[in-house]
Amino acid sequence: MAQKIFLAFLWHQHQPFYEDLRTGRAALPWVRLHGTKDYHDMAALLKKFPKIRVTFNLVPSLLLQLDNFAQGRATDAWLEKTLIPAADLTRDDKVFILENFFFCNWDNMIFPNTRYAKLFEKRGHFASHEKIARSAGYFTAQEFLDLQVWFNLAWVDPLWRGSDAGIDALFMKGRDFTEEDKRLLVRKQKEICAAVAGIHKELWDKGQIEVSTTPFYHPILPLLCDTDSAQMSMPGSLKPKKPFKHPEDAEHQVTAALEYMEKTFGRRPQGFWPSEGSVSEEAAGILARAGVKWAATDEGVLFRSLDREKIPHDRSALYRPYLVETPAGEKIRMVFRDHGLSDSIGFVYARMEAAAAAADFIHRIERTADSIPEGQDPPLLSIILDGENCWEHFRNDGNDFLSFLYAGLSDHPRIETATIGGYLERFPPRQTLRSLWAGSWINHDFAIWIGHPEDNRAWDLVSEAREFLADASRRLPKDDPALRAAWECLYIAEGSDWCWWYGDQNSTAHDAVFDKLFRDHLKNVYIFLGEKPPQKLDMAIKGKELKGALVTPSALIQPKIDGMDSSYFEWRAAGSYQTAQAGGTMHQTDHLLAFIRYGFDLENLYLRLDARTVLKDLKLPDIKIKIDFIEPSGGEIQISWEDHAVKAVYMDPEGAVTALQKIASKKVVELAVPFDVLGKAVNEPVEFTVAVIQDGVQTERWPYQSSIRLARPDADFGSEIWNA
């Protein structure tokens, strides 16, 4: 008789931590929308297939965000725009809705719904911001109301049509919605999100599913323990300025996850899918000491671990569990995902007819079983992948595919589904791994999260914030609410999701949002403790400013500081930054500065600021210009006017004030800053940004995503490369 095989599905449910802890506002709406489209129905579907056993990996930070939304503690811009009565929408509201309320899979979520599709056609499939702004006035209040409803309704799983009369009625109505229809839909969203934990608890208590988890804010555990652990799989790769080595943070993320899950479900999970399947010997030891019984990662990690131990193997080695024993003697069971079969669900089967795709998948499992030599225990094939992101690419949100798949497996004579923990209880590991490769499910390395200059800069910023926080912790009581909030912000910033988008490997329409959110989490570390965040946290890591915005210096200059545009030649060799070419919609409105010119001789840094309008026509006493220095860190120049007389002072990082003698303001503002005042010797770096403050409010900052960088020149200046 052909060999039996056990099949373990692990659906990983996760979203980045979008909420700003100070404001309760989420930067993006995906927790709420995937909550209504994926997290509840993925579990609820199993009620139709009682013989199927599945593991759901629930990340605590996802559950926390779902609960915050359900209880009204969190909001997002998409929800706020949804709740505005359509008749009261401003022009900016309308532009936001037209730009952002079609963010979903067009083929499966827009085009099948006639009214939604017609509104999309009217807006245009690839409409520019300018075209959308012009066309906003051509949409009626009813069309905006229908769009407010349809965007949210399209993100509700089709299963709810058969189980909730209110949602079904909205789908049937299709158009000409009322404000009450909209309010009903938002109430349903909250109800569904509130029920996510409950449906999993119900099925876990019945024994149909197992719930596993992940470190609280989804960090890469091996890199928290030691960023140098990346060198095993990436020898010679670029490193952050100094190693990040905080295994105590890794321990906290694991312990906090277990405690939250116990509070939510009444018991602790026995298993972990470490974030991105990232493991190392040190991380495995932390899991084992926390009482975790099993962990899962990718086949690439297994095969390289076997290679390190010089254990002969073929592919059949993948289909059994292992006992991992660390150098310190900690032990934890581990299973390894079939990379190809797992990815086929996420990346292949959406393009096939549902029944054929399910049949093909089952056939491939049968072929895999046939290829494995019979042993003492039946083999285990682990299928592990995201449980939400792929389904919008399937017809009917993947329900047809999953239904055919679960039906085909329910009474299969050779394939039995199992939870990972359930299989391990029946068939504990017979083989021990005493060497564990440090890597993730992606190319069995950590290149997504470290090594690229953008990733390394992010690690440097986390390190600096942690040093600040550690110092504050020595001065403040442990139960200080502000201190606890600051630590929470740091743990959020340790999550894997931010570096996922840095570097060259991944990109999204919301790159700038993720970049800003990461830096905002770090800013909050300082703000919660009453400190001003470092200026460098205002600078984008994933730079997107247009190359033409900045021109670098080409030679030494010695301009006359008279506030006049005296001669073309005196600033000809200077560097310049043109604000109109900087890119980014947030800076396409009117602003005061048009050009920032900068240059130097051997003794002075020279700055020239050109306004977009005549200086004498401005209310100069209400305006201040601030030059914020990243190098020297914490220094700043303040330029102000009294009765149109300009003055400038430099405040060093210690607070000492030096009046700058050479400044003039007539047609332009010109200023000389001695390098000695900045405390900079030859070849030492100078880095700064320029901000405009009007009536006490900062209204612009340039470069808005980066900084201007240079070094004090020597007499041979002229061959260096300058950049910003």
Query: Left (φ > 0), alpha (ψ -120 to 50) or beta: where does 176 sit?
Result: left
Residue 679, Ramachandran bin (φ over 0: left; ψ between -120 and 50: alpha; else beta): left
HSE-CB of 661 using CA atoms within 13 angstroms: 3
pLDDT number for residue 586: 35
Has residue 64 got a pLDDT over 90?
yes
Mean pLDDT of 355-381: 96
pLDDT at 26: 98
Query: 485 is written with which tokens?
Result: 């909030």
CATH 2.60.40 segments of the chain: 548-711
Q: Which letter does DSSP use for residue 122 in this model?
A: H
Instruction: Compute φ and ψ for 611, nearest 5 degrees.
Output: -85, 165
Query: Measured between alpha carbons, how far is 289 from 285 in angstroms, rounded to an integer?
Result: 6
CA–CA separation, 145 and 377 (whole Å): 59
Phi and psi for 553 in degrees, rounded to 5?
A: -65, 150
Tell me the pLDDT tens digit for each residue of 520-542.
999 999 999 999 999 899 999 98
Least confident of 79-88, 176-185, 563-572, 677-686: 563-572
User: Is the pLDDT assigned to residue 613 strictly greater than 50?
Assistant: yes
User: In this predicted structure, what is the pLDDT of residue 582?
Assistant: 58
pLDDT more than 90, % of the chain: 86
Q: 293-341: per-residue pLDDT in tens? A: 999 999 999 999 999 989 889 999 999 999 999 999 999 999 999 999 9
User: What pLDDT sits at residue 634?
Assistant: 87
Task: Please tell me the distance from the alpha carbon of residue 323 to that of residue 484, in angstroms, as a whole number.
Answer: 37
- Decide: 28 and 393 in contact? Cβ < 8 Å: no
For residue 615, the model assigns a pLDDT of 83
Q: Which two tokens stand for residue 36?
A: 């209504």
Q: Which of 325-334, 467-476, 616-625, 648-657 has the lowest mean pLDDT?
A: 616-625
How far apart, in Å, are the Cα atoms of 94 and each of 90, 99, 127?
Answer: 6, 9, 14
- Give the confidence band of 581 by pLDDT, cuts at 50, 70, 90: low
At 614 the pLDDT is: 83
Within 10 Å of residue 719's Cβ, how many Cβ atoms? 5
Q: What residues does CATH 1.20.1430 cover in the chain?
A: 453-538
CA distance 389 to 213: 18
Beta bridge partners of 596: 577, 609
Nearest to 436 by CA among 312, 244, 278: 278
Query: What average pLDDT score do residues 559-564 get?
Result: 94
| CA–CA separation, 559 and 670 (whole Å) | 9
Distance CA 364, CA 352 (A): 15
Tell which residue, 335, 344, 341, 271, has the closest CA to residue 301: 335
Whether domain 548-711 has CATH 2.60.120: no
CB 230 within 8 Å of CB 237 = yes
Give residue for tokens 């010679």.
236
Q: Give the burial class of 318: count Cβ atoms within 10 A of its Cβ; 0-12 exposed, 13-18 middle, 19 or more buried.
A: buried
Per residue in 231-257, pLDDT tens? Answer: 999 999 999 999 999 999 999 999 999
As a whole number, the mean pLDDT across the chain is: 93
| Fold (topology level) of 453-538 | immunoglobulin/albumin-binding domain-like (1.20.1430)
pLDDT at 81 over 50: yes
427-459 confidence digits (pLDDT tens)? 999 999 999 999 999 999 999 999 999 999 999
pLDDT recorded at residue 565:
82
Write the pLDDT tens digit of every residue in 149-188. 999 999 999 999 889 999 999 999 999 999 999 999 999 9
At 708-723, the pLDDT tens digits run 999 999 988 865 443 4
Burial of 133 (0-12, 13-18, 19+ CB in 10 A): middle
Backbone angles phi, psi at 518, to 5 degrees: -60, -45
Query: What mean pLDDT comes out for the span 576-596?
Result: 68
Give the pLDDT score at 543: 67
